[in-house]
Amino acid sequence: MNKVELVRFNKDYLKKIWELGFKEERPEWKNWDGPYFDDDYKKCESFESFLELESNFFLHDNRRCILLNSEPVGMLSRVWEDKKTRWLEIGITIYRTDLWGKGIGTKALSLWINDTFKEFDFLEHIGLTTWSGNIRMMKSAEKLGMKKEAQIRKVRYHKGIYYDSVSYGILREEWKNKLT
């Protein structure tokens, strides 16, 4: 059985993430993770250049490494849309394409939502925003019990096609009810 864990990044985990996701010019995961933002991905020729460019991002308190059977396979993030009003969004990237569609991301997101509600006991809502081209992410959000809260039509232009921005969310009480 696959064991999914969330841990803080360390240098060994970062090296594996670099090997999985940041050595290619255009890795497959980037085709699904906001591909319309062309300038937010940089190929890194060496692990040292990856550390220099990305370590602050991955080592931040609001990031976790996804381990599958003790091996790094992806990352989770939390971003404050507006800390003052307590609006927080989560995100996920699984760098190994052979693991897509196997429930690993959904399990990791479930653990992350749990951890987030525990760590931020004042938080009443967790959001997740994706785009209509990423069907797997939308299905994962729905499996977790997240509700579609917004769909902004045709605002993500990619490869000659307009896609929608789609936002999901779950309230603390909904999450508690799902767990019982």
In angstroms, the CA 91 to CA 127 distance is 9
| Arithmetic mean of pLDDT over the chain | 95
1 or 59, higher pLDDT: 59
Q: How many CB atoms are located within 10 Å of the residue 128 CB?
A: 23
62-88 mean pLDDT = 97
Q: For residue 158, which of 131, 118, 123 has the smallest C-alpha distance?
A: 131
- Name the one residue in this structure whose structure tokens are 């937010």: 40
Question: Could you tell me which residue, 21 or 35, shows the higher pLDDT?
Answer: 21
Q: What is the pLDDT of residue 38?
A: 66
Global pTM value: 0.94
Terminal-to-terminal C-alpha distance of the chain: 23
Predicted local distance difference test score (pLDDT) of residue 14: 97
Does residue 37 have a pLDDT over 80? Answer: no
- Checking if the pLDDT of 49 tops 70, the result is yes
Q: Is 88 left (phi over 0), alpha (psi -120 to 50) or beta?
A: beta
- Whether 102 has a pLDDT exceeding 70, the answer reads yes
pLDDT: is 40 or 172 the higher one? Answer: 172
Work out the average pLDDT over 46-54.
94
Domains of the chain with CATH codes: 4-179 (3.40.630.30)
Residues 113-150 have pLDDT tens digits of 999 999 999 999 999 999 999 999 999 999 999 999 99
